[in-house]
Each structure stands twice: as structure tokens, then as C-alpha cells.
Structure 1
Amino acid sequence: MSKLESETETKLSMKELAQRFENLAHDVFGSCYQSSESRSFTLLIRKSPVWGATTCLQMGTAADARLFFSHDGVQSLLSQIWWGDMRRSTEVWRLLLTFFCPVLCYTGLISYREEEEQKEEEEHRGGDFTHSTYGTTVFSFSDIKHMGGPGGAADVLTLCSPGVRRRSAPAKRPFIISRWRQFWLAPVTSFLGNVLMYFLFLLLFAYVLLADFQAPPPAGPALSEYILYFWVFTIVCEEIRVTFLVGSLSLRQRLRSYWQDVWNKCDLTAIVLFIVGLTYRMFSWSFDAGRALLCVDYMVFTLRLIHIFAIHRQLGPKIIIVGKMMKDIFFFLFFLGVWLMAYGVANQALIYSYDPRPDRIFRRVFYRPYLHIFGQIPVEEIDVGKQWDMECTSNITEIEGGAEPCRNQYGNWLVVILLVIYLLVTNILLINLLIAMFSHTFSKVQENSDVYWKFQRYKLIVEYHSRPSLAPPFIILSHLHLFIKRHIRRVPSVKVHHFVLELKGKAANRLMTWENIQKENFLSAQSKLQRGSDSERLKRMSVKVDTVLKQVSASRDYEHRLRALENQMEYCSSAMSWVVDTLVQSNMAKPSRDPPTFRESFAGSTTSN
């Protein structure tokens, strides 16, 4: 929602709130993952009926929740999807060797997870499921391959129900077919196949441009060039399938999602350049222009290799850093362009009083000042006071005809000063500014490079998970197979359940109950941790100190009151003693028969008073 907000303050507050909820999602999922791995996986791929039948992974992708995707539980699910039925500990060289020699998939060279699953099933059968809230998750082809037959969603619920044995497939495939599908339907196999075939595509493209680019029809193109055309055609077919035929979004949402990806823009640019270059190449009048466009297009196709290596743990973060630095270069080029234009126009006007040819103006205003930054300074143009052996003319007619104009010697001193200032600003100020920007970007991204890489890894896994097992140009066979299977035989896709799973009835209720239990456990643990934290201890200590201070102040008030009462008592006792002495003296002065005692005198005086 923050992406749709226009006000800056509201957008920032919404981003802060989104970051808070992302942290909560990360922590709650961590609690779920510690409790049960399979159930936490199901939480990630379960359709949410509240949020438009979307999943947690889809919402995290839309919200750009990199921290959530960096969780070990999310990455563990992605690794299992990436490797399919093969073990994650399988070496890459084994996959490459099996890719070139497919028969090896039936040997022990590739290890599968069947033995682990059998052990888990035996443990589940021997265990007590009466208190289980959910069963196993669905993430591999072996778990869902039987869902394509009759039963459909009911089979999914059967898989998800606790204590219920899986329904057997309508017809169990032979070992040869099942093992073949286990190897070739894994996304990692599709990725390696696409990488190898893409290298062959670049080699073929380079061979056509360098050694076999023949003249326009009817003399050309050659056979290798026709193969290249067909290869690009299969790439275009795959782009169309991914953009318009995969997913349940509307056409507008698909186009928007496609355009938001930088690499999709790169693919679209490469395809458009290839089509335009191919069109120009077919005519004699535009043959050279078409070849030039195809050469530029080869560069774009080659740069596409950067995206392929994003799956690598060491190269992936570096690719992200390079992408961030490209933005810094655009800011640098803006400042550099200002100085190039300022110096180039002034330099050209001072050295040449009249030179109307646009090609020479462009070279001397932009191209040569740019080369000055790297030390290529033509002394014969700057120091015009010396006599150089060059033919020139001051005739306007000859200059307009293409002759070299003579240089003006009047402003030579000013040209040298401008050159010094230009080199000072560009070579020292702007270049060091660019280096500082690169250093800042590198240090900023390097701290969170692992988080960025894991988020990028998810996108790459989703991309190759939806791709057919065959790579271009053989992908056309997969397209024909998918067309017959989806549109003629009307067989639904079962591979989609790796990332999207729909639960209904008791299975959904049990899963939500378990999720709520984990949420409450997490909140209680957080509250305990918060109470036991240092800040809470300091707060409690400050409260106790305040209470003690209040008690001390109250005791001081009591002490002052007691002292005042003591003073009053002393005053009263002294007054009473004075009164008694006075009465005694007055009684002694009167004659009496029998002198009264002290008690009688005191009693008599009290009665009279």
C-alpha cells in the first residue's frame, strides 16, 4: 500500500509499519519452523482465503520482504523445490555428467530422497497421530504426481490429512519412466540445461556475426543463420508463454509484473533489436545497418548471462552490488555531462571561429573532452601558437565543403586555463566522488548481501520452476506437449502445487489451529523476554527506588512531627512545673492549722481554678 501512497509522510509511516509486520512474520514463522518443518512449509504455500487466494510467498514478493525470505525455513523449502526428488547434497558435476549422458540417471551417480521418505513414512506409521494437527507437506514431484488423475483436490486433502495413508496412483509408472521424470523435471536440471544451451546460442551468434554473415537474399542467409533465427523464435515463444499463459493474474497485472523486472526489459530489448536487425539485414540498402544492430544485440544477449549467475552464493551478491552501482553511475554521468557541455562548447568556440559540420562539432564538444579525462589531450589543438604541419583554410566556402578550418590563436591562453579547470574538476573532484559513492554502496549492500541474494534466489527458482525441462531450441517440443496436454486433453498442471496449495475442511482448520498455537507461544515468549530484558529491569528498579524515596520522605515527615510533639510536651511540662511551683509558694504564704500536703495543695488549686 505504501507504493500507491503519494504523500511522503504517510508513505514513510506505512513503510515503518510494514517493516514492523515483516519482523513479526519472520519471528512467528521461525517459531513455526522450530515446531514442525513440514507444517511451516505448508504455511508458505497455502492459499489464504482472506487475502484474495494468495500465498505468504506471493505477498512477501509483492511487499519486497527480503528479511522474511532470508529465513532458513523459507530457504529450506526453496532448496527442496529447487532439487526436486534429488538430494540437496548432490554435486553439480554429477548433474552435468548425467546431462550429457542421460543413462547415468538410472545408476547410483545421482542420489534421490526416496530412502529418506521411506524412513519417514515408517516412523509416521509407527507413531501416534491422535494429537497431530497436520500431516506432511507437498513439495516434490513424487508427492504430487498422482494428483493429475481422478480425485484432483481430494487427493490433496488426503495428503494433508493426519494419520491417513496416501492414495495410490491410478497406474504406477515403470521405474525407467519415473526415474527419468525425477531427474528431468527438477528445476535445477532445467537451469543447467538452459545455461549450457545459452552458451551454445552465444557461440552460434558469434560465429554468424564473425564468419558466416552472408549478403542479403538471394545470396544469403546461410544455414547457420537460419538456425539462429529459429533459436531466437523459440526464445520468443517462451517469453510469450511466461508472460501471458502462466499464472492467474489479469492481463494488465501480468504486463505490469513483467515490466517491473529489469531482466525482462533486457530480454525485450534484445528481442526487439534482433527483429529490427533481421528486417534491415534482408535488404541491400539497409544491410550494414542490420548487421550493426545485430552486433549491438549480441552484447545485450551476452549481458543476460549476469542474471543466470545470480543463483551462485558468491557471485549473486556481487551482481546485486553492480546493479546498485549502475544507479550511482547515472548520477555521475549527469554531473559529467554538465561539465562536458560547458567545457566542450567553450573550447570549440574559442579554437574554431567557424566550423558548421555537425559530425566534427559532436566529436569536439563531447567525444574529445571525454577522452581528456583519460589523458588523451591533443596538444596540436590546445597549443595553437606553435606551427604544426597541418593544412587548413579560413575560406568559409571551403570549410562548408569539408576542409579543415584554421584554429584561432586569440583565445589560446583562455583555452589552456579552461582545460586546467576542467581536468581539475573531472579527474579529481568527480572521479573521487564516484569512488566514494561506490564505496558507500558497496559497504551498504555488503552488510545485507546475504539477505538480498536470498530474495533474488527465490525469484530465480520461481522462474526456472515454471520453465519446461527442455531448453531452447528444443523447448518448442515442450510447448507442443503442453499445448496438447492443457488445451486438448484438459489435464491440469500438478507442478503448480509446489508453490500454491489449497486446503479445505478439517485440514485447513487444523493447520490454522496449529498456527494460532505457535503464535500464542511466540507472543508469550516475547512477553517473558521483554519482562526479563535489561530495560524492563531498569524500569522496575526505578519504580522501586521511587517507592523507597517516597517512604523515606514520609518517614522524614513523621520524624519532624515527633520532634514538634516533643517540643510541645517539653513546653507543657515546663509550664506545668511552673504552675505547680507558683501554687505551692502561694499556699505556703497563707497561715493554716495543718499544712496541707502536696497532693492536697495541688488538688485544691485545681478545684479553685
Structure 2
Amino acid sequence: MHGVAVQHLKKQKSTGNDTPDTSAFATSGLQSQNSVGDYNSRPAWQPFLTFGAIDKVRGYGGRSSSTKSNSNGWDGNYSRLRKVGFFITAPFIIFRYDVISYLTFCALFTYMLLYEFRDEPSKLEYVLTFWLGTLALDEVRQIQGDPSPKLRKRIFAWLTGYWNIVDMVSIILFSIGIGLRHYQPTRDAARVFLALDLVVFLLRSLHIFSTSRHLGPKLIMIIRMFVDLIIFVCILVVFLLAYGISVEIILYPNTPRPFTVLLSIIERAYFQIFGELFLDDMGKDVICTTNITEQTLGMMPCPENTWFGMLALAFYLFLSNILLLNLLIAMLNFTFQAIQDNCDVLWKFQRLGLLQEYYSRPPLPPPFIILFQITDLMCYIWRKTFGKCCNGCSACQRTKSFKRQLDEDLNEEIATWESVKGQDFVIKARQKLRSEAIDVYKLTNDRFDKINQDLAAMKNYNLKHVDDRLSKIEDQLKVLMASSKGSQGQNGH
């Protein structure tokens, strides 16, 4: 495609045509509508169940099946089987099948915890364990597919994704839960771990909404606000410990229960933020003791200097409920507004990351992805043994889909293509300004014509009105003159 761009631009320069003709790029894979495919005009259920529109589906990297040939040697006369291959390997279709697989896994996992979690593992539990194993292997494939030469850099690059961290937590919790459930004393703990893991899996399903233009930015808001909340909690912990420790020292000095005191400090200071003030513990009717032995056995010590506790509580509530709460609201509001102002750009980058992820993912969803994982393992052994990819290796094709660094020739071709599109944009902008100037000129002329017509109408109206008034005055003068002559004649007689 880039070679076509360079040849087309050179041809334009040789002919002396300054207006760039972008028809050569009409089927370019760089155009977004061609690279994604005509999916938006179809019903949402159609790509799942039918291949009836397979003739219109575009293949890898926006290669259209209706194109006869291009400079890269692609022939448009594909067989129907090849078109089906293009269809099922499109990132859009892989994502949808992966969504169905993930929701099915969550439904089966929920059913297993509600009805099938007994003393002996059920068949469904073995199926889910195998299913999660394929998910874990796919995460390993993502780490291995990173182009970084060192394993540590690949792992760090993988951990930069929020959803990858969620996947890691879910896999760890599931592994711990399955490991503990095989022992009778830890079976209840296993149920707790698996229930928490189900919560993580259900929260992971929010990733589905990243394809939506309206819901995708909301996910970014949730993640950014969660980071703000962590920062706020760090600030809150400082105030919480400062208040809790000082009050504990003043009210209950020399308490012989260190671990109980630590829990009491955190519990009292935390729940007082939400209105549980524990005023009865500082009252006169509280059941307490001053005996050290009884305090060691678990009885509550009697509070001292309760006036300081009340004063510190009032100041602590003033800071936490007014200052810190408004700080949290301001932080969340700033994050919301910053993302809302750039929601479209952020969503496009989010969609690009999703496209890159599913472009390199095998077409079959878990647990059927194990077939491609076995193939990738064999290809990996082949590459390590012979130093080259085997023929038809899907792993090699997927890892070469996107380039992070371009060679000099390819970079020059892309720069040439960008120059052509830039010239096209400038010319269209100038034409738009010229058309706007012409429209303004026409509008001004129309207004002047209307003003002239109004002035002419006013002139005609005024002249006619003056003539009428003069004729009336003349008639009145004639009447007056006639009447004056008549009166003079009568006086003469």
C-alpha cells in the first residue's frame, strides 16, 4: 500500500498537478472504516450466528475481499473457505465470541458455588478448573508475545494493563480456593476464596463495555477515580491513626492488651466517621474496671479525661466530615471533568488497545483455545530448535501484526502518505474558506439589494404621500380663496 502511495505521489509531481488525488488510497488499510469492517450497519446478533454476509467481510488489516489485486500480491478472488477464515479471525468476531465464553464461564462458576460445591469435586468443577487453566495459559501467551527481549520487561509491560492485574488476581484466588477445598478443615476458607474470586470475575466483565462509545470512558473514570480513592485513603489513614492513638493514650493509659488496643484504635476512629460515635464508652454509666487483672481477662478499662476525648472527637469529625470529604469530592470531580473533556480521544485509544489485543489472540475462545495453545507450543519448540518459524505458524503471524519501530523505507513511505493526506486536508480547508467567503459575499449583496429596494419603496411612498398632501393643501387654499372672495363681495355691496 505504501509503495502505491509513493508511486502515485511521484506521478502527480511529474505531471505538475498540485491537487493531490487520494483515489489511490480509497482501499487503504489505514482508513478506519476499512480496517474495522462494515459491522456497525448490521444487527448485533448477525456476526454470532451467520456467515451469510461473508462476501462483504474484510480480512486481516483491512484487506478487502472485493479488491481484485494490489501491490502486496493479495488476490481478491478468495475461496469461500478463505473468506470464512477472514471472518472468524477478525478482531471484532474474536471479541464477541470471547464475551460469550466469558459470560458462560461466570454463569457456570456461579452455579457451581451455589449448588455443586460439595465434599467431593464435581465434574463441573473439573471443567471450570480446566477452563481457567486455558485462561492462565493465554495470559502467558500475552507475556511471551511482547516484543521486548528480556522476560522482566515483558512481565512489567504486561502488568501495566489494569485488566491483566485483575486477571492475575482472579487466577491466584481460584488456585488458592481449589487447593484449599480438597482438605476438610480448610473447605470453608476455600468457599470464601472462591466467592471473592467470583466477585473479581464479575467485575472483570466490565471490560466488555470498553467497546461502547458511551460506557467506555466511564470505565476509565472508574479506574482513575479508584486511584484517587487510594490516594485519599492514604491521607485519611494519617488522620485516623493520629486521632485514634492520641485518644487511646489519654482515655485508656497503660492498657495490658496490645493487640486489642490496636484493633480498638482503628475500629473506633474509622466508624466514628460514619456516625458511630461510641459516646457510651466515655459516659459515667459504662461498665468498666480499673483492675489490671480483670482488664487482662477482657473487661473494658475505665476511661480517664473524658473531656479530652469529647474535644478530640469534635475536632476529628470536623476535619474528616468537612475538610477531607470535600477534598475527596473535589478530586473525583476534577478527574471526571478531565476525562469528560477528552472522552472521545480516550475511548479511541482504548478501542485501539482492544483491537491490538484481539488481533493477536487466537480465534477460538476458551476453553477451545487450548488447540491453538498446543500449536503455539509446538511452533515455539520449532523456533527454538531450528531458529525460524514453521510454515503456517499462527503465532508468528500474530506477533508480526503490529510494529513499534519502523525501518527507514517504510517510515519514508508513511511520511509520504501523510504528506498527501495533509495536502488534501489543506486544500479542502481552503476550499471551505473560499466557499464561505463566496457565501458571505452573496449574502452581503442580497442584503444591499434588499436595502436598495426598501429605500426605493420608501422614496416612492414618501413622494406619493407628499404629492397627496400638496394637492390637499392646494384644494384647501382654493376653497379659502373662494370663500374670501365671496366675503369681500358681500362687504362691497
**TM-score (structure 1 length as normaliser):** 0.58
Structure 1 residues 369, 491: closer, same or farther in 2, change over 3 A?
same
The 3-state SS of whatever aligns with 2:117 is coil
One-letter code of the match for 2:269?
Answer: P
Structure 1 residues 442, 238: closer, same or farther in 2, change over 3 A?
same
Structure 1 residues 202, 356: closer, same or farther in 2, change over 3 A?
farther
Task: State the Cα distance separating 1:524 from its structure 2 match.
Answer: 8.7
Match of 1:399?
295
The answer to whether residue 107 in structure 2 is matched with residue 203 in structure 1 is yes
Structure 1 residues 404, 224: closer, same or farther in 2, change over 3 A?
farther
The 3-state SS of whatever aligns with 2:45 is helix
One-letter code of the match for 1:326?
Answer: F
Tell me the distance in 1 between the aligned counterparts of 2:407 and 2:230.
51
Match of 1:35?
22
Match of 1:222?
122
Match of 1:518?
420
Tell me the distance in 2 between the aligned counterparts of 1:468 and 1:307.
18
Q: Which of 116, 119, 139 in structure 2 is aligned with 1:239? A: 139
Contact residue 87 and residue 111 of structure 1 kept, 8 A = no
Task: State the Cα distance separating 1:88 from its structure 2 match.
Answer: 3.7
Q: Which of 336, 348, 351 in structure 2 is aligned with 1:457? A: 351
Task: State the Cα distance separating 1:378 from its structure 2 match.
Answer: 2.6
Contact residue 38 and residue 137 of structure 1 kept, 8 A = no
Structure 1 residues 353, 237: closer, same or farther in 2, change over 3 A?
same
Structure 1 residues 250, 412: closer, same or farther in 2, change over 3 A?
same
Match of 1:139?
62
**Unaligned stretches of 5+ residues in structure 2:** 1-18, 383-389, 435-493
Match of 2:8?
none
Task: State the Cα distance separating 1:519 from its structure 2 match.
Answer: 7.9
The answer to whether residue 56 in structure 2 is matched with residue 113 in structure 1 is yes
One-letter code of the match for 1:105?
Answer: F
One-letter code of the match for 2:207?
Answer: H
Contact residue 87 and residue 113 of structure 1 kept, 8 A = no
Task: State the Cα distance separating 1:288 from its structure 2 match.
Answer: 3.7
Match of 1:159?
70
Q: Which of 96, 116, 136 in structure 2 is aligned with 1:192? A: 96
Contact residue 134 and residue 370 of structure 2 kept, 8 A = yes
Task: State the Cα distance separating 1:487 from its structure 2 match.
Answer: 6.4
CA RMSD of aligned residues (A): 4.1
Contact residue 485 and residue 491 of structure 1 kept, 8 A = no
Structure 1 residues 159, 482: closer, same or farther in 2, change over 3 A?
farther
One-letter code of the match for 1:227?
Answer: V
Task: State the Cα distance separating 1:159 from its structure 2 match.
Answer: 3.1
Map 1:341-356 → 2, pairs under 5 A: 341-356=241-256
Tell me the distance in 2 between the aligned counterparts of 1:293 and 1:512.
52
The answer to whether residue 314 in structure 2 is matched with residue 376 in structure 1 is no
One-letter code of the match for 2:391?
Answer: R
Comparing 234-243 and 490-499, the one that deviates more: 490-499
Q: Percent of counterpart pairs with the same letter?
A: 30
One-letter code of the match for 2:45?
Answer: W
Q: Which of 41, 44, 65 in structure 2 is aligned with 1:92? A: 44
Q: Which of 442, 461, 482 in structure 1 is aligned with 2:336? A: 442
Task: State the Cα distance separating 1:429 from its structure 2 match.
Answer: 0.8
Match of 1:57?
none
Tell me the distance in 2 between the aligned counterparts of 1:371 and 1:520.
61
Map 1:422-433 → 2, pairs under 5 A: 422-433=316-327
1:361-401 per-residue CA deviation (whole Å, 9 max, x = no partner) reads: 2432112321211112233223x22x24x4x4433233323
Contact residue 82 and residue 461 of structure 1 kept, 8 A = no
The 3-state SS of whatever aligns with 2:180 is helix
**Unaligned stretches of 5+ residues in structure 1:** 1-31, 45-72, 99-103, 118-135, 147-157, 533-609
One-letter code of the match for 1:370?
Answer: Y
The 3-state SS of whatever aligns with 2:274 is coil
Tell me the distance in 2 between the aligned counterparts of 1:426 and 1:93.
51
Task: State the Cα distance separating 1:422 from its structure 2 match.
Answer: 0.8
Structure 1 residues 495, 137: closer, same or farther in 2, change over 3 A?
closer
One-letter code of the match for 2:356?
Answer: V
The 3-state SS of whatever aligns with 2:224 is helix
Contact residue 184 and residue 469 of structure 1 kept, 8 A = yes
Match of 1:251?
150
Structure 1 residues 459, 428: closer, same or farther in 2, change over 3 A?
same
The 3-state SS of whatever aligns with 1:105 is coil
Contact residue 55 and residue 65 of structure 2 kept, 8 A = no
Match of 1:268?
168
Q: Which of 116, 133, 148 in structure 2 is aligned with 1:212? A: 116
Tell me the distance in 2 between the aligned counterparts of 1:33 and 1:451.
28
Tell me the distance in 1 between the aligned counterparts of 2:40 and 2:323.
50
One-letter code of the match for 2:281?
Answer: E
How many residues were matched structurally? Answer: 405
Tell me the distance in 2 between the aligned counterparts of 1:90 and 1:474.
27
Match of 2:455?
none
Tell me the distance in 1 between the aligned counterparts of 2:253 and 2:21.
79
Match of 1:560?
none
Match of 2:5?
none
Contact residue 141 and residue 495 of structure 1 kept, 8 A = no
Contact residue 112 and residue 125 of structure 2 kept, 8 A = yes
Task: State the Cα distance separating 1:482 from its structure 2 match.
Answer: 4.7
Contact residue 236 and residue 271 of structure 1 kept, 8 A = yes
Match of 1:557?
none
Contact residue 55 and residue 83 of structure 2 kept, 8 A = no
Structure 1 residues 347, 248: closer, same or farther in 2, change over 3 A?
closer
One-letter code of the match for 2:51?
Answer: C
Map 1:436-585 → 2, pairs under 5 A: 436-483=330-377, 490-493=391-394, 494=397, 499=402, 511=413, 514-515=416-417, 518=420, 521=423
Task: State the Cα distance separating 1:462 from its structure 2 match.
Answer: 0.8
Task: State the Cα distance separating 1:504 from its structure 2 match.
Answer: 11
The 3-state SS of whatever aligns with 2:300 is coil
Task: State the Cα distance separating 1:200 from its structure 2 match.
Answer: 1.9
Larger Rg, first or second structure (1 or 2): 1
Tell me the distance in 1 between the aligned counterparts of 2:380 and 2:190.
39
Task: State the Cα distance separating 1:223 from its structure 2 match.
Answer: 2.2
One-letter code of the match for 1:250?
Answer: P
Structure 1 residues 460, 358: closer, same or farther in 2, change over 3 A?
farther
The 3-state SS of whatever aligns with 2:62 is coil
Tell me the distance in 2 between the aligned counterparts of 1:344 and 1:256.
38
Q: Which of 419, 422, 439 in structure 1 is aligned with 2:313? A: 419
Task: State the Cα distance separating 1:183 from its structure 2 match.
Answer: 3.4
The answer to whether residue 183 in structure 2 is matched with residue 283 in structure 1 is yes
One-letter code of the match for 1:140?
Answer: R
**TM-score (structure 2 length as normaliser):** 0.70
Structure 1 residues 37, 397: closer, same or farther in 2, change over 3 A?
farther
Tell me the distance in 2 between the aligned counterparts of 1:105 and 1:276.
42
The 3-state SS of whatever aligns with 1:414 is helix
One-letter code of the match for 2:25?
Answer: S
Tell me the distance in 2 between the aligned counterparts of 1:327 and 1:296.
21
